[in-house]
Amino acid sequence: MSIFLAGHKGLVGSAILRKLKKKNYKKIITISRKNLDLLDQKAVNNFLKKKKPKVVIIAAAKVGGVHHNNTHGADFIYENLQIQNNLIHGSFINNVKKVIFLGSSCIYPKKSKQPIKEKYLLTGKLEETNEPYAIAKIAGVKMCEAYNKQYKTKYLSLMPTNTYGPNDNYDVNNSHFFPALIKKAHECKIKNQNIFKVWGSGKPLRELIFVDDIADACIFFMNKNIKDTIINIGSGKDMTIRDYVNFLIKKLNLKVKIKYDNKKPDGVFRKVLDVSLAKKYGWKSKISLEQGFNITYNDFVKNYKKNKL
């Protein structure tokens, strides 16, 4: 089975690539952004026509944290729509048997019931700070659903919760909350800082999943016949931002005072996924926060000086 993995150098894509290799998949197709512009429809079609993959996994996307989403909305909606349109439609016209489209839990309404079930999609307004990105991802979900209905394709959308792991983005202005906190905690440690600055109030609740769990879910569902078109992928557990800050302080043995910047946006107050559908099919997350953090932090420290994170 030949598999084209789009976005193999990103956080999720690199984890999927590691997992595919570990499971001895031999026909894995990857290509750099330099050699294939996923925004170019003709180039994508020609590539798929030439390579003829049986499966396409769409881990390629423009991603970022609250601040970057809030200030670069046009880039987020245009680039994500273009990437997924080219890959999903390109897969269809080139007879790709199965597509796995990776979305995000931000597709769900801002004031959704908790935990969030797949059926809550489009039942309310989105969180304003990442609305363009969320709308693009919703379009991808609905595109897969529409192709399945009209053309009897087997395209599946997986919706991961907040993800972390090796190869993450640690830029404090455009990363997600957990890698940003890891970087701040590490710098408190190595620079002997006694103030730990945190965006927002610290009160919002967030669910985390280690990236290798998402990779495991992609391969698990790639090999299943699934009737549903959208499945949540998460741990099913959440904590407050304050809890995560305290976790990091304890793990790094910091002696600091926490300073919350209430002028910065909190985003959605709570966002925890209902993962009962994934469990019904036989999949659940396996890696604890403790285990996942240890692997992530070792990778971060190893690359800190090299990449000037």
Residue 239: how many other CB atoms lie within 10 Å: 16
297 is catalytic: no
Write out pLDDT tens, residues 125-134: 998 888 999 9
Write out pLDDT tens, residues 280-303: 999 999 999 999 999 999 999 999
Token output for 304 = 């800190």
**Stretch 25-37: mean pLDDT, rounded?**
97
Give the residue, 176 or 285, on which the prediction is more confident. 285
Write out pLDDT tens, residues 250-275: 999 999 999 999 998 887 788 999 99
Token output for 232 = 């949540």
Q: Where does the pLDDT of residue 70 fall: very low under 50, low under 70, confident under 90, or very high at 90 and above?
A: confident
Q: What span, in angstroms and rounded, lies between the C-alpha atoms of 97 and 298?
A: 38
Token output for 140 = 């991808």
Write out pLDDT tens, residues 86-117: 999 999 999 999 999 999 999 999 999 999 99
- Catalytic one among 25, 108, 120, 133? 133
- pLDDT above 90 for 309: no
Within the chain, strands assigned E span 3-6, 28-29, 55-58, 98-102, 154-160, 162-164, 195-199, 205-210, 230-233, 238-240, 257-261, 270-271
Domains in the chain, CATH or no CATH each: 3-304 (3.40.50.720)
Task: Give residue 266's pLDDT.
Answer: 84
Task: Give residue 67's pLDDT.
Answer: 66
Write out pLDDT tens, residues 180-219: 999 999 999 999 999 999 989 999 999 999 999 999 999 9
Please classify residue 292 by burial: count the beta carbons closer than 10 Å to its beta carbon, then call 0-12 exposed, 13-18 middle and 19+ buried: buried
Q: What span, in angstroms and rounded, lies between the C-alpha atoms of 30 and 213?
A: 21
Percent of the chain predicted with pLDDT > 70: 97
